[in-house]
Structures are given as C-alpha cells and as structure tokens.
Amino acid sequence: MQYGHFDESRREYVIDRVDLPTSWTNYLGTERMCAVVNHTAGGYLFCNSAEYHRITRFRANAVPMDRPGHYIYLRDDETDEYWSVSWQPVGKPLDEAVYRCRHGFSYTAYECEYNGIKAVQTLFIPRGEDVEIWDLAIENQSGRPRKLSVFSYAELSFHHIDMDNRNFQMSLYAAGSSYENGIIEQDLFYEEDGYQYFAASFEPDSFDAVREAFIGDYRTETNPIGVERGVLSGSTELGGNQCCGLHKQLSLAVADTANCAFFLGEGRRREGVRIREKYRHVAAREAALAELRSFWDERCSALVIDTPNPAMNTMINQWTLYQSEINVMFSRFASFIEVGGRTGLGYRDTAQDAMTVLHSDPERCRVRLMQLLRGLVSEGYGLHLFSPEWFEADGKKQSFKSPTVVPTPDKSSMIHGLADACSDDALWLVSSITDYIRETGDLNFADLTVTYADGGSDTVYDHMKTILDFSARMVGAHGICQGLRADWNDCLNLGGGESAMVSFLHVFALGNFVALARALGREDDAAHYEAMRTAAIAACETQLWDGKWYLRGFTAKGRPIGTDADPEGKVHMESNTWAVLSGAASAERGKQAMDSVDEWLFTPYGLMLNAPAYSKPDDDVGFVTRVYKGLKENGSIFSHPNPWAWAAECVLGRGVRAMKFYDALCPYNQNDLIEVRKAEPYSYCQFISGQDHTKFGEAHHPFMTGSGGWSYVAATRYMLGIRPEFDRLEIDPCIPQSWDGFTVTRRWRGAAYHIQVENPHHISKGVAALYVNGVKTASLAPLPAGSTAQVRVVMG
C-alpha cells in the first residue's frame, strides 16, 4: 500500500493519503531554530535546545497522535463551518476534502481543497532568523464570492521540558501574555530573555493569548470554541497557559487569491515588529524560501550520482544526504520519539555523524569534531553525553535559572568516571578526524591546541594518541578491548568483559592514524602505532575466530558470546562486519564470516543485528537479553550496522551481495509496502522489527539514527568507491557485475570532478585504467581549486 510518492524534481516527498498509520516527520530550520513537524502540522518548535528552550508545547506518545502543532483554521463565515489547512486537527472526512502534505528540504507544505477553497500552509524557518514562518495562500475556486475567517493556533511552552511537564505549582505562575500592536508576546517571567512573539502580516480582527479561551472547556484543537464562534475573545493573562490565536476576516471575489503569514519567533514584541516588516510581503517570503532552496542546492551538488539503481540515486542525491545533514545539525534528541528530555551531544553518535557530510558541510563537521575533542577526558575516554557549552571558553551556562524547579548542575558532576565510559565512543573520533583531513587537505588541523574536559590541553594529534592508548591499555584477559558500560551496542553491557567489535574498531582507528602520521611525515609514530595495530590484529585473530564467524566478545566471567554452540545470540553483525572493515580479517575468514551474516541475519527488510534473538535474561551479556525478541538491539533489523555490511562486502569485492543488502534496507523500495513498514519511505529508521516479532517489517524512529550517515558513507565511499585520501581521490567501486557503469560529480577541495566509470567486462571490482582530462594517469592527485576535471575510469 502506497501513501505518497517521491517528487525528485522538486526534491519533495508528496503524501497524497494523509491518514498515515504514524507520523511522518520533517525538520525545519538549518541553524539555531528547529521545528519537528509531521504530515498534519503536529510537532514542536525549539531554539538551540529541545530540552531547555522549547517554544511550542507538545504532548508526546499520546492520543490523539502527536499534538498540538502549528495550525491554521479556515471558517466559512456564511455557514459557520470550519476546517484546518492541515488535515488534523479538525480532521474532515477524506472523501469530502482533498488533503496533501509535501515534505521538502527544511520546509513542509500542507495543501487542502475543501468547500471550493484551496489553501496551502507552508512552514519554514528562514536562513539567518529565529522565526518560524507560516505562509498561507488561499484561492477561491468556488465560483461565487466568499466570506472567510482565518485563525492561527499554537500552544506555547514554558521552555524547559521539566517546567513544561511537572511542578506546575511553579510554572503556571511564571509565564504570561500580553497583546499590543497586533502582536502576542509571551513572557517567561523567571528567565532573563524568556520572550516569544507571535505576529501576523495583517492587522488582526480578534485574538486570544490564553489557551483555555481559544479552545474552550471540554474541547480540543479539533473543535475550538473561538473558531466555532468566529471571533476570538481578546484574552491575555499573567500566569496560566499561553497560545497563538490571531484572527482575520477575508472577502474573496470569484477566483480571488489571498496571501498572509504568521510569525512565531524568539524575542520581544519589537523583534516581532521587525520580522513582520521584513516578511510582510509574499515576495519576501518567496525569496526566503528560495534562499533555503539554494542552501540545499549547494549541499546536494557536492556529490551527484547517476547509477542504474533509481532508489540509490534518489536517496543519495537527496534524502540520505538530508537525513545525514539533519543529524549533524540537530544531533539526536528532537523527534517524535526523543522529545527533548535529554539533549547535548551523544559522543559516539556525533563522532560518527561528523564524518558523513564532510564534503557538503565541512565547517559544521569541524565544529562537531572540536566539540568532541573538548569533551574528551585526559584519560582517553569521551563523555558519553555532554553539552558542548560546558567546555567552551566563552560558553554561556544555559541551564534554567528557576530557584526551585531545576537544580543547576555542578561542573564536576558533568565529568563521569570510567564506570560510565563506553568503550567505543572516542575511537570513532579518530577515524572521523582523519576523514576530515582527507576531505579538506588541512593537515594543520592535527596540530591545533585543544583542551581536555577535565583540564589540561595538547594537540588534536595528541588527543588521538590518548584515545588509541586508552583502548590499548583497557584490555581484558584475552587481550581484547574491555566492553565497559557498553560498546556501540547500548544494550551489550560487558563491564570488564571484552568486546570484539571495539578491538576491531581500535584496529580501524589505528590504521587511519598511522596513515595520518605518515602523511605528516611522523615516521616514529607511524611505526609505533603500526606495531600496536599488528598486536591488536594478532589478539583478534587468535581469540575471536569461532570457525564460521567471529565471536561478539567475552563476558566478565570469560564466557564467549556468539559461538556456534549458543542456541541464542549465535551470530552478531557488529563483530563480523568490523572484522572485515578494519582490515583485520584475512580474505578467507572475512568471506566466511560475511557468508554467515548473510545466512543467519538476512531478511527481505535488511540484516538483523543478531540471531536467534535472546529469550532469557542474562545480565552477564547485558540489557539486550531483556528486550523483547525482534525489537531494538535484540534481533531487530537494526539499521545503523547494515551499511557496515555493505561496506564489508565491498572490501571483499562482492558487489552483488553489497547491493542485495543495500536494496533490502532501502526505505525507497518500501514505498508501496507501508501497510508493513508504517514509517516514512524517505528516511532510514533506527530499527525494523525482526523476524522473531509479530510486527516483522515495521520500521521505528526515523531521521535520528546513524543509519542515515552510514548509508551515505557506505554507498558513496565503498559501493561507488569515491574516497578522498590524503594525497589523492581514490576511485575504487564495488558494484554488481550487471552494471555497465555510472557517473558521479564530486566536489573535492574546491575542484569539480566529473567521473565516468565504465564496466566493459562486467566485473564487480578492480580498476584497469584512469584518465584525467583524456590523459592516462596512475592516481588522481588534487587539482587546483576552481578547476574542473573529466575523469574516466575503466574497470578491469
């Protein structure tokens, strides 16, 4: 069953059937301000932090689903009938009204045709301003003159999620509203700069700033009294709950159109006046939307592919890049699932995100890398979850200042000890830094001075050594890295037990560091860390091979996890993919291990994380054994590691297998299977219920998952094989034999490369010849910034 389609030319996903089984998400904003919105204008707006600076209120995991939102109502003032421009909250029967939702890049448009009136509400946050604009275009298609009313509604929040959800004896008396000059202002009395404004492009005919006055007793957003009555009551109050109700009457002649807009922004009324002036005219709003479009044009043009796989083309050129960028922009903690209760940066997630969009957004990735470097403890582990401003020289303390509601955290309590350290967190950073330098060519980055979270400083390069030394030191009885609180798998809690995945990750990071040391001419370091790498590989190869695959690790009591003798939790994806990706596994073992992955873990919706799923709690292994079978880390199709398998197959040269895995997980391919998938087909989801669960195939938690970024990396750097190195652009595809070739346009260090890959002998991997501007060359050295090169690659 299909609910919509991809519109590649407009870079939109168009939802034609809005009665979706779950919210389909989009993100608005590209800087400080962000809105998480769904297909019916439900969602919430925040500035900087969804935890302590929530602008609009949201009731998560509730019924009705994902309300309130940023709503516009229309009312026929001759018949008193009303409806909303987004299908919800009024919810007109879909056989009487046409509703559509178009999710674009950083904007969403809600379209409605009802009662002879066509209306489009477009939500977006312009570049450079902290305001959410609700643009409204109306057209009278009824063939007769009409008298209509337009109403806006959003519920304002008390900023901090705790203020907004508990201890109302305080928060209900700490925020108030006023109305003047056509603008509602909300004042969060206890916050120094706690103001929001809500303005419109017109002079309102009536208003309500008090929620209860707009909605009415025993009513909801579906049937608000103010809209039903056709005029708002002019309410404001110091204390209570505030809302954004503005009203305008319109008279439309036959075929007339009207445009207006609402502005929900950060700051005082006078800021609302400025924004109202700036965006009052439709041309200014169109220009702001065009600016957003060129922002995304610029990012998307950094890498454009044309392959025989249409799903891959749309996802890589558009949605997977978008998903990856959104993760780097807003980190992980704002969605319909994570509703802002914990914000800041997750160390491992951010460290992985930061390597995914280096080509399209190197500046933002660099900011993230610096934040992570400052969040490293001098012992060598990263702070698993931290707010970057804690460690910024000029960092403002952002915590809420209420004397009674939220205690101000003490700085020393922010630096957790070894007991809470995750064994993988900082290892990701080493490889992300080397990839940053490979992308930008900025070798000086390695020698920048940077602080540690717990005091002291050295260079980026030395931070990397500190991380590698920590993992070398923190090994268990078998010489394999200790699992600590968790490794990549949050639910594998091995403590002093050992994690195969982390040892392989260590090998991978060491390989990248050695390459960097060589590029910098630091041969002593290269030799030292190469020896460390060789020793780590030897430990892995002697301790971790089970015969047909690699173990997942050892419990603290020394029991191996993931052996052929285990009835449950036999084969695990993380260790086997990283054995290959890290370069530790021999070709023979690597192939055998990945064959086992295919045999035990493959499903039509992607690879399961492990199988068979655990059914009995076993605290030596961890929380994974306490999650229901087929869900989350216990035998679901956990998306994030799937691309590791595509990349591993490419290391092994098996392009058909890599593409089989790619196609299975690819959300685009499930566009007509929404009765099973439920979630949006334009975003990778955190996990898909596995075959041991009744809802096998149902996808959960879109956007905020490392699978977006890793899919992008695995598809572009491994499958299509376009990989920056310190001194050259490597082109080493691994594709299905059936492909005749493909093309890629890639921006790299300021030059444009038009790459044509030909596959005349129908192989999967191997390059016979490389031509740059018609001249045969051994490797593709960086060209001067501003130049354009035609590159021809002949496989063979």
Answer whether 679's CB lies under 8 Å from 618's CB: no
Could you give the CA distance from residue 201 to residue 196 in angstroms, rounded to a whole number?
17
**Spatial CA neighbour of 720 closest among 645, 791, 658, 641:** 658
The rounded distance, in Å, linking the Cα atoms of 57 and 44 is 6
Cα 623 to Cα 147, 417, 613, 617, 626, distances in angstroms: 61, 21, 13, 8, 5
CB-nearer residue toward ligand GLC: 307 or 352:
352
Q: CB nearest ligand GLC: which residue?
A: 490
499 belongs to the binding site for ligand GLC (CB under 6 A): no
Nearer to ligand GLC, 488 or 513 (CB): 488
Residue 782 near residue 774 (C-beta atoms within 8 A) = no
Tell which one of 488, 504, 545, 602 touches ligand GLC (CB under 6 A): 488
Neighbours of 784 (CB within 10 A): 8
> Distance between CA atoms of 213 and 233, rounded to whole angstroms?
7
DSSP string, 572-605: EHHHHHHHHHTT-S-HHHHHHHHHHHHHHHEETT
Length of the chain counted residue by residue: 796
Q: Which one of 39, 70, 146, 348 is in contact with ligand GLC (CB under 6 A)?
A: 348
Q: Rounded distance, CA 296 to CA 314, Å?
A: 15
| Least Å from the CB of residue 558 to ligand GLC | 24
Report yes or no: 482 and 494 within 8 Å, Cβ to Cβ. yes
Query: In angstroms, what is the minimal distance from the CB of 331 to ligand GLC?
Result: 10
- At residue 422, φ and ψ (nearest 5 deg) are -100, 140
Only one of the segments 4-12, 317-325, 341-349, 663-671 lies at the binding site for ligand GLC (rule: CB under 6 A); that segment is 341-349
Q: Of 151-159, 486-494, 564-572, 663-671, which segment contacts ligand GLC by CB under 6 A?
A: 486-494
We find the least distance from the C-beta atom of residue 627 to ligand GLC, in angstroms, to be 10
Query: Looking at 77, 256, 490, 725, which residue binds ligand GLC (CB under 6 A)?
Result: 490
Beta-strand pair 610-611/175-180: unpaired
Contact 214, 82 (CB under 8 A): no
Which tokens is 566 given?
A: 């285990």
Stretch that binds ligand GLC, among 136-144, 163-171, 488-496, 655-663 (CB under 6 A): 488-496
For ligand GLC, the binding residue among 23, 686, 716, 764 (CB under 6 A) is 686
Work out which of 132, 185, 349, 353 binds ligand GLC, going by CB under 6 A: 349
Give the residues across from 747 on adjacent strands. Answer: 752
Residues 310-339 that bind ligand GLC (CB under 6 A): 332
Q: Please state the closest distance from residue 338 (CB atom) to ligand GLC, in A.
A: 9
* Beta carbon nearer to ligand GLC, 13 or 644: 644
Phi, psi at 664, each rounded to 5°: -65, -45
Partnered with residue 262 across adjacent β-strands are 134, 200
Shortest CB 574 distance to ligand GLC, Å: 9
Select from 200-208, 346-354, 399-407, 615-623 the region that touches ligand GLC (CB under 6 A): 346-354
Q: How far is the CB of 692 from ligand GLC (least distance, A)?
A: 18
User: Which residue, 348 or 765, is less far from ligand GLC as judged by CB?
Assistant: 348
Distance of CA 170 to the CA centre of its chain: 34
Closer CB to ligand GLC, residue 49 or residue 707?
A: 707
Site for ligand GLC in 598-637 (CB under 6 A): 633
Query: How many Cβ atoms are within 10 Å of 413's Cβ, its own excluded?
Result: 7
- The answer to whether residue 489 forms part of the interface with ligand GLC (CB under 6 A) is yes
Is 76 near ligand GLC (CB under 6 A)?
no
70 versus 348: smaller Cβ distance to ligand GLC: 348
Buried b (16+ CB within 10 A) or exposed e, 12-49: bbbbebbebebbbbbbbbbeebbbbbbbbbbbbbbbbb
CB nearer to ligand GLC: pick between 426 and 731: 426
Minimum CB distance to ligand GLC, residue 22 (Å): 18
Q: How many residues bind ligand GLC (CB under 6 A)?
A: 11
Residue 625 C-beta: closest distance to ligand GLC, Å: 14
Q: Which of 89, 182, 346, 709 binds ligand GLC (CB under 6 A)?
A: 346
Token digits of residue 447: 């020698």
**CA pair distance 264, 272, nearest whole angstrom:** 8
Query: For ligand GLC, which stretch binds (CB under 6 A), given 154-162, 457-465, 485-493, 611-619?
Result: 485-493
Q: Is 420 a catalytic residue?
A: no
Region binding ligand GLC by CB under 6 A among candidate stretches 139-147, 308-316, 342-350, 566-574: 342-350
Q: Which CB atom, from 415 or from 491, has the smaller least distance to ligand GLC?
A: 491
Binding mask 692-711 for ligand GLC (x = CB under 6 A): -------------x------
Say if residues 214 and 245 touch (Cβ distance below 8 Å): yes
> By C-beta, is 691 or 705 nearer to ligand GLC?
705
Q: How far is the CB of 416 from ligand GLC (least distance, A)?
A: 16
Give the nearest distance from C-beta 563 to ligand GLC in angstroms. Answer: 22
For residue 498, count CB atoms less than 10 angstroms from its CB and return exposed for 0-12, middle for 13-18, buried for 19 or more.
buried
CA 714 to chain centre: 16
Cα–Cα distance list, 133 to 122, 136, 152, 285 (Å): 8, 10, 12, 8
| Residue 96 burial (CB count, 10 A) | 9
Q: Which residues from 389-448 bind ligand GLC, rule CB under 6 A?
A: none
Q: Under rule CB under 6 A, which residues in 286-305 are in contact with ligand GLC? A: none
- Judge whether 197 and 187 are in contact, CB under 8 Å: no
The CB density around residue 411, as the number of other CB atoms within 10 Å, is: 10
Site string for ligand GLC, 109-148 (x = CB under 6 A): ----------------------------------------
Q: Considering beta carbons, is residue 590 or 708 the nearer one to ligand GLC?
A: 708
Exactly one of 306, 420, 490, 663 is catalytic; name it: 490
What is the smallest separation between the CB atom of 60 and ligand GLC, expressed in angstroms?
A: 18
Task: Choose one: 99-107, 155-163, 487-495, 743-751; the region binding ligand GLC (CB under 6 A).
Answer: 487-495
Which residues have a catalytic role annotated? Answer: 490
Which chain residues interact with ligand GLC by CB under 6 A? 332, 346, 348-349, 488-491, 633, 686, 705
